[in-house]
């Protein structure tokens, strides 16, 4: 029997046991992936989040999904532990975010300052390419939903009510093409750092 090209899992089922088990469930996928490509139009990608920022993000998730027990603190620590993979050999990380992500006040001022400062250091890691699409950039591709590409085998797309895992090769290729178009609009290195520093200054 052929495998479905899209695996649709509602968040209410995925978070039924809490947010920490959801973080832990991705550990093996991350270990098995050599090339991570991430586009985010909404938040700092999980792999680059600090604990304070992650706690705020996951706290909102707990509220949105009306979880009976808020384990966002434990989930944030699990997310940070999982993110240590960016320091391990055998993996590459290409991440593109919209400049507006830098100004989205998900956490309090101190946590946001720590998060933005972390982007300056994480973006300089040898295995990490961090691109930022300036708000003033001439668009050659519209803003998309946040998505993660794991090698060339799966795309994870985050929706309001569910997570879609796309595995059909032709569809994965289409996401890769969109990612490359978005990546081409981004700035890197000193230009990206300047945008981050500008966002840090705007916190005060």
pLDDT > 90? residue 4: no
pLDDT, tens only, 176-191:
999 999 999 999 999 9
Q: What is the pTM of this model?
A: 0.90
**Confidence class of residue 62 from pLDDT cuts 50, 70 and 90?**
confident
Closest CA to 133 of 103, 99, 104, 101: 99
Could you read off the pLDDT of 104-120 as tens digits, one per residue?
999 999 999 999 999 99
Condensed to tens digits (0 to 9), the pLDDT of residues 65-104 reads: 777 667 889 889 999 999 999 999 999 999 999 999 999 9
- pLDDT category of residue 35 using cuts at 50, 70 and 90: very high
Q: How confident is the model at residue 162 (pLDDT cuts 50, 70, 90)?
A: confident
- Calculate what percentage of the chain has a pLDDT beyond 70: 91
Which residue from 43, 65, 61 is spatially nearest to 146, judged by alpha carbons? 43
- Which of 19-23, 45-49, 68-72 shows the lowest mean pLDDT across its residues? 68-72
Residue 173: its pLDDT value, please? Answer: 97
Architecture of domain 6-201: 2-Layer Sandwich (3.30)
pLDDT confidence tier of residue 1, bands split at 50, 70 and 90 = very low
Q: How far apart (Å, rounded) are the C-alpha atoms in residues 88 and 194?
A: 27
Residue 19 pLDDT: 80
| pLDDT of 14 above 70 | no
């Amino acid at each position: 029997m052929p495998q479905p090209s899209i695996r649709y899992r509602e968040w209410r089922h995925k978070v039924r046991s809490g947010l920490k088990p959801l973080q832990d469930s991705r550990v093996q996928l991350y270990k098995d992936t050599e090339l991570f490509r991430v586009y985010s139009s909404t938040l700092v990608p999980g792999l680059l989040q600090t604990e304070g920022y992650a706690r705020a993000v996951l706290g909102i998730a707990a509220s949105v999904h009306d979880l009976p027990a808020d384990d966002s603190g434990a989930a944030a620590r699990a997310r940070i532990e999982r993110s240590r993979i960016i320091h391990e050999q055998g993996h590459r990380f290409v991440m593109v975010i919209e400049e507006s992500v830098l100004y989205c006040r998900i956490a309090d001022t101190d946590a946001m300052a720590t998060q933005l400062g972390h982007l300056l250091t994480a973006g300089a890691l040898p295995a990490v390419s961090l691109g930022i699409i300036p708000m003033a950039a001439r668009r050659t591709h519209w803003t998309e939903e946040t998505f993660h590409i794991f090698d060339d085998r799966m795309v994870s797309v985050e929706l309001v009510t569910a997570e879609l895992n796309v595995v059909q090769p032709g569809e994965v290729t289409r996401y890769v093409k969109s990612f490359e178009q978005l990546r081409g609009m981004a700035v890197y290195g000193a230009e990206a750092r300047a945008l981050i520093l500008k966002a840090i200054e705007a916190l005060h």
